[in-house]
Amino acid sequence: MNWLYDFSILTQSIHESLSGNFESGTVLLLEMILAGVAFMILFALLGLVLVYAERKVSAFFQQRLGPMRVGFWGTAQTLADVIKLLMKEPLMNKNADKFLFNLAPYIIMIAAFMAMASLPFAKGLQALDFDIGLLYISAVSSLGVVGILLAGWSSDNKYSLIGALRSGAQIISYELSVGLSLLTIVVLTGSLQLSVIVESQANGWWIFRGHIPAVIAFIIFLIASTAETNRGPFDLAEAESELTAGFHTEYSGMKFAFFFLAEFANMFIVSAIGATVFLGGWMPFHIGGWEGFNNVMDYIPPIVWFFGKVGFMIFMMMWFRWTFPRLRIDQLLTLEWKYLLPVNLMNILVMAFLVLMGWHF
Amino acid sequence: MEEIIHDQELESKEYFINMGPQHPSTHGVLRLVLSLDGEIIRKVEPHLGYIHRSIEKMCEHDSYQQIVHLTDRMDYLSCHINNEAVCLAVEQALELEVPDRVKVIRTIIDELTRLSSHQLWWGVMGMDLGAITSFLYGFRDREMITDIFEETCGARLTMNYNIPGGLFFDIHPNFQKRTKDFIAYFKKKLPEYDTLLSNNVIFKQRMDGIGKLSKEDAISFGVTGPTGRASGFSCDVRKHHPYMAYDRVEFKEILDTKGDCFARYKCRIAEMWESMHIIEQLIDNIPEGDYKVPTKAVIKLPKGEWYQKVETARGEFGVYIISEGQRSPYRLKFRSPGFSNLSALDHMARGCKIADLVAIMSTLDLVIPDIDR
Amino acid sequence: MNNEEIKQFILDHVAEAECMEGSQFLQVTIPAEKILSLASELKANPNTSFDYLFCLTAVDRPDHMEVVYHLKSTTHNHQFVLKAKINTRENPEIETVCHIWRTAELHEREAYDLFGIKFLNHPDLRRLLLTDDWEGWPMRKDYDDPINMIAY
């Protein structure tokens, strides 16, 4: 069971057994396919689990039971929904731009896949470990807005167009806050590489070690990342009571499912980034100097820590969604440009000053 | 640079959007044609009639007992109060004095209806603003009232409990106990409404100063009910022209002066407290007696005309009966509160954003069958 | 003002008005041509100030049309019923009051839709409840609809 604590043992053994049988070029190809398949499975599983979780969490907040009929406690409900969506007829407006209309869901999915590729799930379990990993993720995750804009533009529906334009304005604004709040921690770590960021938290997570500026950055990240994923209370792009369904009004069947899935995947990705940067990623809860305590914590495998933290973040986002009313577009932009951004910039300065003076733990 | 902009005609143009008849927040089949400049509303034009059943024409062929049932199908959320309006008009024309017991029971059920209507409004209001949880909360509490209704008269929505001359049946023996249980329960739950929505920063920002309606405009547009009272228009029929047992209970007419969405919201929340207060005064004092006075099987009103107004959850509901002495009215007009309230929508929504329009519509609390009739 | 004074007030302005004490309200019938001048006077005069039009409807009588205005003053709390009599059933016409009481705009559209009464100078007189291509005026007594018959 050692591999559960260090996945490089597992990946190494796979690599060695493959190398024993094939040439190096083939090995690379096979490994790429393996990783790709693994991500697809993860993606599908995430969709299944998160949709079910969302329904159960919302049911919990609304004093009801949620899905209960299909499977034990409704666990197979999402599966049934997938089958339903597969059977549905894909419809399109007569005047819709066919090519862009069909392209849009894939762009969103691809953006989500690309971002997921560089997440450190556990020790040694990371497909791509760039030295600019954080920059890469924030760049790629904002690609999704292109898909939303295309979907809104090509649907030939004014509701979709309004939704897409709202979403464009929103994501471009909140991208700033996400980036800046992450930078606040990068000032501490001195590196953009995700594995290094995780390793640097071996003596305690940054949210605890970074004084108040880290906490502020975390809160800003939580708000801004919720906005970036287009989830309530920032779901203006879909705003079902105003724009029927916003940018995906005209989509049905599997293409709609892609948007739906991408939303949950994006939620997972931003939660994973938050967990990695602020809450130590797969790093167990350590307190610098307390060896005994740290050893006890190490018994829990890193992958459990990672998914636990991500789960916590996702729960927070669901909590927001099912509690708050939606903002209006001007309030949304005011919140970003007049409050979050100035606070964020000041916060970075304070953090830089702290690091310069060596006052952090 | 300026020339280029001018050449390409980059100035903004108005465009139109069809909101409804199938739209999540028009609460039925209301169709609004919005003229928009970006997200800003320049004009709202309501197109009605998608659920027009010509109830007034049908009434011209129906007996008065039958007309009562048709009123259920207009404002289905305050159906009991609608029924009562017709019954009161007929009783007034026949100069029929109903027993005290009927008066008290009708008043209690009126107020329960108002409560249930406001609960549903509160839930839907939250949902329109994106807080879906409130919808379930509102329905959870409304369920208790509909249970009481079901036990009393067998129906949960269209109750048909009133008939000219009294009530269909006497109340269920459990009625008093269950109503008291409900009041005790809801007194604990109503503060929860405030913690979930009223005190929420986002909610306040969405509502404050949106959709202002001055007192003069409210009167001119004939906007009544909590919507009118939030603008300072004292229009509570229960106070001004007391009917049934409203003259013997003590309650406040909720008035506000701001006239914006939040004022309308607060008015309705405060009305729920007042309704509970009214029920509390009456529930232990239901006098003994008959639950109806006998009327003839075929009611023929004398020649003449009568106008009876009552206060529904949405405002002043009026029945105008012109009788020629026949078994059916010569002409019957329902003055529905939603119809007049809707006429102010354009005035309130101009210059607002689409999201504000949704908020304004929810605070108007429109019920479309009530508007279309 | 009590009913007697309202009656006097109206008779001062419209000499041919017919007043009747109904079971409930004072009912005053005036010729349709006088409606605009009387309505603006009723609203503007501080002694009457009928600022709240709570019901506007039309009635189809065998030989004439009536437009019925239920008026109330929110300051003086008095109310009465004003009826404007249009002497023809073919092409009935009457001046609009929707710039005096703005609620009249939709109510008049409804009356036009169902009774075919033309409200002159109305800003937007179109069918309200029925479709634009509907033929006839359904609330009139002689309206015949062989498809959607009302059986009784």
**B57 close to C (CB below 8 A):** yes
Q: Given A235, A240, A325, which is nearest B126 (Cβ)? A: A325
Alpha carbons A271 and A267: distance in angstroms, whole number:
6
Model confidence band, residue B4 (pLDDT cutoffs 50, 70, 90)? low
Q: How far is CA C145 from the centre of its chain?
A: 26
Cross-chain residue pair A328–B358, CB shorter than 8 Å: no
Which residues are within 8 A (CB) of C26 and not within 5 positions of it... i.e. 6 or more apart?
Answer: C3, C6, C7, C19, C20, C80, C81
The partner residue sitting opposite B219, judged by closest CB among C24, C25, C51, is: C51
Tokens 């970003």 correspond to: A336
What are the extents of the domains in chain A? Answer: 81-357
- Print burial letters for B55-70: b (CB count within 10 Å at least 16), e (below 16): bbbbbbebbbbebbbb
The mean-pLDDT minimum among B226-235, C11-20, C86-95 falls in: C11-20
CB C59 to CB B322 under 8 A?
A: yes
A57 touches chain B (CB under 8 A): no
In DSSP terms, which residues pair with B166 in a beta bridge? B163, B292
Summarize the confidence of residues A267-278 as an average pLDDT: 88
Residue A260 to residue A251: CA distance in whole angstroms = 11
Q: Is the pLDDT of residue A7 over 80?
A: no
Tokens matching residue C136: 């006839």
**Residue whose tokens read 């329009």:** B357
DSSP string, A194-206: HHHHHHTTTTS-H
- Provide mean pLDDT across the span A200-222: 81
Q: Are B371 and B336 in contact (CB under 8 A)?
A: yes
Q: How confident is the model at residue A204 (pLDDT cuts 50, 70, 90)?
A: confident
Q: State the average pLDDT over residues B41-56.
A: 86
A338 at interface of B, judged by CB pairs closer than 8 A: no
Nearest CA in chain B to A327: B202
Residues B75-113: tens digit of each pLDDT: 888 888 888 888 888 888 888 888 888 888 889 988 999
At residue B334, the 3 state secondary structure works out as strand
Which amino acid type is present at position B368? Answer: I
Is pLDDT above 80 for B245? yes
> CA–CA separation, B18 vs B330, rounded Å?
38
pLDDT reported for residue B1: 47
- Percent of chain A's residues with pLDDT above 70: 98
Closest by CA to B333, choosing from A342, A189, C66, is: C66
| pLDDT at residue number A190 | 81
Are chains A and C in contact at 3+ CB pairs closer than 8 Å? no
Alpha-carbon dihedral angle through residues A202, A205, A206, A208, given to the nearest 10 degrees: -130
The CA distances from residue C99 to B210, C43, C122, in Å, are 25, 11, 9
Asked if B35 reaches chain C (Cβ–Cβ under 8 Å), the answer is no
Name subunits touching C (3+ CB pairs < 8 A): B
* Percentage of chain B exceeding pLDDT 70: 97
pLDDT band at A360 (very low <50, low <70, confident <90, very high): low
d(CA C65, CA C32) in angstroms, rounded, equals 10
Per-residue tokens: A131: 């030295």
Confidence tier at A104 by pLDDT (50, 70, 90): confident
Separation between Cα atoms, residue B96 and residue B2, nearest integer Å: 78
Q: State yes or no: pLDDT of B162 exceeds 70.
A: yes
* Per-residue pLDDT band at A211 (split at 50, 70, 90): confident
Q: Which residues on chain B are in Cβ contact (under 8 Å) with C51? A: 216, 219-220
Domains of chain C with bracketed CATH? 3-120 (3.30.460.80)
Amino acid at A271: S
User: Which stretch of DSSP H or E encloses residue B23?
Assistant: none
Looking at residue C150, what is its pLDDT?
Answer: 60
* B200-223 pLDDT, tens digit each: 888 888 888 888 888 888 888 888
Q: Taking phi first (over 0 means left), then psi (-120 to 50 degrees means alpha), and beta for anything else, what does residue A239 get?
A: left
Nearest residue, CB atoms, B222 vs list C24, C103, C150? C103
Banded model confidence at residue B237, pLDDT cuts 50, 70, 90: confident
CB-closest option in C23, C70, C138 to B57: C138
- Is B128 within 8 Å of A158 when comparing Cβ atoms? no
Residues above pLDDT 90, as percent of chain B = 1
Q: Name the minimum distance, in Å, from the CA of C140 to any CA of chain B.
A: 9
Distance CA C84, CA C120 (A): 14
Please judge whether B343 and C102 are an interchain contact, meaning their C-beta atoms are less than 8 angstroms apart: yes
- Axis-axis angle for helices A253-278, A24-61 (nearest 10): 90
| SS3 at position A351 | helix
For chains B and A, having 3+ Cβ pairs within 8 Å is answered yes
Chains in contact with chain B (at least 3 beta-carbon pairs closer than 8 A): A, C
Strand intervals (E) in B96-241: 162-163, 166-167
Share of chain C above pLDDT 90, in %: 0
Give this complex's ipTM: 0.85
Give strand ranges (E) for chain C.
18-21, 26-31, 52-60, 65-72, 79-86, 93-95, 118-120
Domains and CATH numbers, chain B: 52-372 (1.10.645.10)
pLDDT digits (tens, 9 = 90+) for B126-138: 888 888 888 888 8
Is A159 an interface residue toward B (CB < 8 Å)?
Answer: yes
Asked if A241's CB is within 8 angstroms of B128's CB, the reply is yes
Give Cβ neighbours of residue B123 (< 8 Å, ≥ 6 apart).
Answer: B134, B135, B136, B137, B138, B139, B142
Query: Mean pLDDT in chain A?
Result: 83
CB–CB contact C59 B331 (8 Å): yes
- When pLDDT is cut at 50, 70 and 90, the band that residue A1 belongs to is low
* Interstrand relation of B316-323 and B304-311 (parallel, antiparallel or unpaired): antiparallel
> Is B25–A242 a contact, with Cβ atoms under 8 angstroms apart?
yes
Query: What residue type is A93 in one-letter code?
Result: N
Question: Over 80: is that where the pLDDT of B321 sits?
Answer: yes
